[in-house]
Amino acid sequence: MSLLAIDTLSIALPKGADRELAVKDVSFTLDKGEILCIVGESGSGKSMSANALMGLLPEGVTPSAGSITFEGRDLLTLSEPEMLALRGKDISMIFQEPLSALNPLMRIGDQIAEVFEAHDLLTPPERRKRALELLHEVGLPDPDTTIRAYPFQLSGGQRQRVVIAMALALEPKLLIADEPTTALDVTTQAQILDLIEDLRKRHGMAVLFITHDFGVVADIADRVIVMQHGEVVEAGEADKVLLDPTHSYTRALLDAIPKLTFRDSVEQTAQPILSVRDLDMTFTSRTGGFFKKPRVVKAVQKATFDLYQGETIGIVGESGSGKSTLGRCLVRLLTPQNGVVKIGGQDISKITGDALRQHRRRIQMVFQDPYSSLNPRSRIGTILTEGLIAYGTDKASARDKARELLSVVGLDPSAMDRFPHEFSGGQRQRVGIARALALDPEVIIADEAVSALDVSIQAQVLDLLADLKDRLNLSMIFITHDLRVAAQVCDRIIVMQRGEMVEFGPSAQVLGNPQTAYTQSLLDAIPGKAHEAALAAQKEAQA
């Protein structure tokens, strides 16, 4: 008998939601020591299934049919005290955001000990000893110090290790991992995936792994379930689903994954459109009282490059590498301490006030989060015309231009009178792009512009950007942590590490033949490389 068997499970959404059932007729089984991946885009019901398993469904959402059998007991019929005894002990869960999953005011050791306390196990000294062992096991550096640390003193990857240690504390039989690596860098992601794989082998746990990333699936899954609109559209062995998908949705998702292919460099015109020389940005923050030395973070050091007309330069690196700070210095949301930023021959790194305002239109930005980058209380038409009106265009022609821009980015002009919340993430990002284009800028900076989007939407937005680039001969700086995306859209690539540019050159050279160990490590950490190789082999066999 399987450890876990979900049989024709349906979960009803409250009345007035966009569909009746969050999850419809989902069935699958999971055996001891097996890793099952549930893949799907946002809103596909994958997290809802996991929450139902833990009895953690949001208010108003209830299972309406089916059963969840864990070790012969139907979890849906258990009372709350029975579920409490089960949670953490037999089934435990790790979450997407390691920072919000930890109590910020509690030391790491105490948080792990609390897991034992909640189930009334062991004596306090034993709990502490066990916590230390767990920190060792999940590979945290220097566990004796870490056990006394607070969550904010650890990096994202270390926090996720702590969360995993807590989940493992009572040696659960089933571990549910809900997008555990989505908030992490590629290199950290690779380490966490290794850790989960390793722990699975050592403890014989079953793992239910929820993700949207097929690369991760290829690296870790034994079996895969693909979900769309709350229904399972495909299920099977990982290799089979990935290499020989039968359902069109799976195929579309697989095709949408950007491939590590390179663009040819564009011809460089004589005059660079944007020229950056020795740009420095240092943050100084006073923490821990008057007498301590202020904390100094050199976010960007000696950044130097030229951007030519019609070219796209990618800036890649892990979080904290200074790539976003560099972008913000270029648009002058931040004022760099040193260095020169010349656009069209004029230095804009020091100007302030009205002169700066006049220059803002020449360099525009597309933001990361399509949900917070549009004012929720303004109509799309207002959002698009505000900039033009601020520069003295009259209202009627600004609205004409906005309508035109909407059709350029592939939205219906009727969107003008609607509010941002009426649009999906991908559509909002199109509005964001239209807004950046509204002022006819010479340079566009895209700061992680596709990171928050599902793969299929991401592919559409990337296509749009590529298309706009060709049609309007845009010059762009594309900031991203995803090397595949960078490879797809960028002509040249800057690799940043701790504020410094460690590598700069044509994409094919930087990613195809990296000169530094850091770039190589970034490339190695990309999930799903084995799958890509297998895919290539399959193609060759067919040809």
Rounded Cα–Cα distance for residues 82 and 77 (Å): 10
Element (H, E) at 506: strand 500-506
Q: Is 374 in the site for another protein (CB under 8 A)?
A: yes
Q: What is the 3-state secondary structure (H, E, C) of 66-129?
A: EEEEECCEEHHHCCHHHHHHHECCCEEEECCCCCCCCCCCCCHHHHHHHHHHHCCCCCHHHHHH
How many residues lie near another protein (CB under 8 A)?
A: 28
If one asks whether residue 15 binds another protein (CB under 8 A), the answer comes out as no
Nearer to another protein, 201 or 421 (CB): 421
Q: Does 357 participate in binding another protein (rule CB under 8 A)?
A: yes
Contact status: 261 vs another protein (CB under 8 A): no
Among 239, 369, 442, 500, binds another protein (CB under 8 A): 369
Residue 210 binds to another protein (criterion: CB under 8 A): no
Nearest approach in angstroms of CB 352 to another protein is: 12
- Using alpha carbons, list the distances in angstroms from residue 304 to 277, 465, 478: 4, 25, 16
Is residue 421 close enough to count as binding another protein by CB under 8 A? no
Give the shortest CB-432-to-another protein separation in angstroms: 8
If one asks whether residue 438 binds another protein (CB under 8 A), the answer comes out as: yes
Helix, strand, or coil (residue 422) = helix
Does 528 bind another protein (CB under 8 A)? Our answer is no
Residue 214 interacting with another protein (CB under 8 A): no
Closest CA to 263 of 440, 476, 445: 476
Say if CB 507 and CB 261 are below 8 A apart: no
- Residue appearing with tokens 């015109």: 269
How far apart CA 20 and CA 16 sit, in angstroms, is: 8
Among 375, 397, 473, 516, binds another protein (CB under 8 A): 375
Q: Which helix (H) or strand (E) holds 452?
A: none
Q: For residue 435, state whether it binds another protein (rule: CB under 8 A).
A: yes
Q: Give dist(CA 133, CA 136) in Å, integer.
A: 5
Please select the residue that binds another protein; options are 11, 439, 455, 477, rule is CB under 8 A.
439
Segment interacting with another protein (CB under 8 A) among 40-48, 167-175, 201-209, 376-384 = 376-384
Residue 281 beta carbon to another protein: minimum distance, rounded to whole angstroms: 16
Q: Shortest gap between Cβ of 522 and another protein (angstroms)?
A: 26
Judged by CB under 8 A, which of 364, 429, 480, 507 binds another protein?
364
**In the window 320-349, what residues touch another protein (CB under 8 A)?**
331, 333
Q: Count Cβ neighbours within 10 Å for each residue of 405-421 and write b for 16 or more, e otherwise.
A: bbebbbbebebbeebbe
CB atoms within 10 A of CB 165: 26
Q: Which two tokens stand for residue 417?
A: 């009178």
Restricting to residues 83-102, name those near another protein by CB under 8 A.
none
As a whole number of angstroms, the distance between CA 507 and CA 490 comes to: 7
Judged by beta carbon, residue 58 or residue 288, the one nearer another protein is 58
Length reported for the chain:
543
Shortest Å distance, C-beta 335 to another protein? 13
Which residues sit at the interface with another protein, rule CB under 8 A?
59, 331, 333, 357-358, 360-361, 364-365, 367-369, 372-378, 383, 386-387, 390-391, 432, 435, 438-439
